Structure 1
Amino acid sequence: MQSPNSNLRAFNLAVTTLLKNPSQFLPHLTIPTITHLPEILGPALIQTPAPSPSPSDKPSATPTPTPTIRALVLDKDNTLCHPKTTSFPAEILVKLRYLRTSPTSPFNRDNSILIVSNRAGSHPRYDAEVRALDDELRELQIPVFMLPEGSAKKPFCGTEVLEWFRERGVVDRADEIAVVGDRLGTDVLMAAAMGSWSVWCRDGVTEGGREMNLLEKMEGWVEKYLRESRGLRAPPPRGWTGTGTGTGTGGL
């Protein structure tokens, strides 16, 4: 496993992405916190402002295709728990319970939700966090991803995460997965690299009350600039055709 040092490679990837393909830095869906995550994600992921039609435009007879999301990758720090803790706010536990137990939720199947953290599960130093999370979530059966020996942390472990779901028969393709987290430079970039959809929890754990470090503030400024000033939006995952036959093979 990787040593628990700063993820310099991730920073370099973020800079390279912003220079060469900045739209990949943007999430497909932005929500304040995970408590706002729609149960049926597909329609929300492709809700983007449509250009104003010209008078000569004819209405399209083809309905807009929507992705089918069968699995969730959830970040821990600042998405499910406050940073460097394993305590879940009550409202987030309620949300997780609903996603896992609602008869209409696509995530009530075993192994359909996986916590992927750059702390818990990424290095033996954080094994106590894994045990605490396992105890907290045992009833809901939401596991923590254990980074394989020699693998890199987010945003570089997308191939391993996709294989985890495939081995358990949850998904066939990467575009059936949504990555949910508070960081553009790790969670969103991992989703883009693996060919999945991304959901950005803008406020972290507590709506409107997030305290950000400088890097997190910079990500927010860049996201607003790309979206508002340059008019960019996240492209569909690589290989997604909107017909249910996308390749979505991932690979980093």
Structure 2
Amino acid sequence: MRRLAAEFLGTGMLVTVVVGSGIAAQRLSPNDVGLQLLENSLVTALGLAVLILLVGPVSGAHLNPAVSLADWVLSRRRAGGLSSTDLGAYVAAQITGGVAGTLLASVMFDVAPTLSTTPRATAGQLVGEVVATAGLVLLVFALARTTTTAVTAAAVGAYIGAAYWFTSSTSFANPAVTVARIFTDTFSGIAPASAMPFILAQLVGAAVGVALLLVLYPTADRTAARAVVPIRPDTTPQEHS
């Protein structure tokens, strides 16, 4: 339950960071969309790095169903990682946490929660989501082989911040965040009709990322259980259940 609470809290705060900074950027820079995106991406990159450090030792800081699914797939090859039961519970915690994060941001900024009217699912944007998610999954599991928690947090935050700019979709790269952003008609929102194509593109991207990982690092499945951040070894198995 502590692990699920950490995933709920971490994903919720991530969405609060994304949506809240998007609303603030809209208000502070109403006539400059480029500056709005810069503000939103910078805050998201920093916030994500902090959240990985915060909840990583408890749950691994997946904060993303695509990462959890990739962990589960890689774990089928060897012992360790998420079980099928864990995967379902993680995804549920991430999605509900994300929606709660959108509602929290709406309350803080006195914005009525409402469905987004921003369409995003063009062919180019869907390709962007495949690229963004593939790169994220590849990075996360490659880092699990060699780096420290601090480096992982910084690298993942930096990648998402950069992917805001080099992908046409502004790098959602996260099904839970995509669902959560349906419920805000602000700078960071996504129309319900665009959400499912985005999620399908993210799942394709996750599969591409896992395939690239196994090509570049054939033994990466041995360390999949350490993604995103290794759970502290002083946490007992009973506390993991």
TM-score by length of 2: 0.29
Q: Return the structure number with greater helix share.
A: 2
Larger radius of gyration: 1
Q: Return the structure number with greater strand share.
A: 1
Higher relative contact order (CA 8 A, sep 6+): 2
